[in-house]
Structure 1
């Protein structure tokens, strides 16, 4: 069975009850990466710490808690030494991947390549820059 790795955007779609993404996820072996966990938590912490959000804290903390509960139900893939070697090779052989805005996506891609897994994303523009990376979009 092929393994599918959800990027951060697809996790967000699941958390917002996107029916098509949820249906596809139920049919496959799925996981997320520790990079996605980092991105999710960075996003919530930034929103919660924004002084203008002081009147919306119950909702924000509730959404953070929903994210934590979801992450407890799914396999989280670590950034292993194999992924690190893959990342170093990608950056060495493909200078366009060194752009700062691609940093986390390329780390997710390196994990996927090290495991021969498919990335599930709507971000075709950035992930398609990574050679040999299998990509799927469950929103189409």
Structure 2
């Protein structure tokens, strides 16, 4: 595994539409699927989103749609390896926190996983992730 898909890149793949999807999927086609992974943090973020959708359901149709969304998430996460937040990531996160980098909680956790495993993080969110020294970033949607 070489590449860690940030939540935004994974969401583009899940939508399967648009120029960003075309660019990303074309680039990924040049590599074996085994080169890619997603983090448990991305799973957490997406599961929180579906959970929020279910909790805000105003009708039975909304509830059905919310659970279908959650089912698709489980199916999507069976395709790529899931990278855990392990003690190495915890140590990297601690170092980021000591540096007082202004970074969202989930982004900091994803960055810590990328740093600890020496993975290239595929993301459009350069504005935030570029603050993390040593983190290798690429945007495959352009």
Matched, 1:25 2:28: yes
The alignment's C-alpha RMSD in Å is 1.7
Long gaps (5+) in structure 1: none
CA contact (8 A) 1:47 1:53 kept: no
* Separation of aligned partners in 2, 1:41 and 1:80: 20
Give the corresponding residue for 1:58: 64
Q: Deviations over 1:93-125 (max 9, x none)?
A: x2133x5xx111011111111111111111111
CA contact (8 A) 2:51 2:66 kept: no
From the superposition, tell whether residues 22 and 66 of structure 1 become closer, same or farther in structure 2 (CA, over 3 Å): farther
Instruction: Give, in angstroms, the shift of residue 23 of structure 1.
Output: 2.4
Moved more, 20-29 or 62-71: 20-29
TM-score, normalization by structure 2: 0.86
- Structure holding more helix per residue: 1
Instruction: Give, in angstroms, the shift of residue 54 of structure 1.
Output: 4.4
Instruction: Give, in angstroms, the shift of residue 19 of structure 1.
Output: 2.3
CA contact (8 A) 2:57 2:63 kept: no
Instruction: Give, in angstroms, the shift of residue 77 of structure 1.
Output: 0.3
CA contact (8 A) 1:15 1:66 kept: no
Give the corresponding residue for 1:79: 85
Long gaps (5+) in structure 2: none
Specify which of 124, 127, 136 is matched with residue 125 of structure 1: 127
TM-score, normalization by structure 1: 0.87
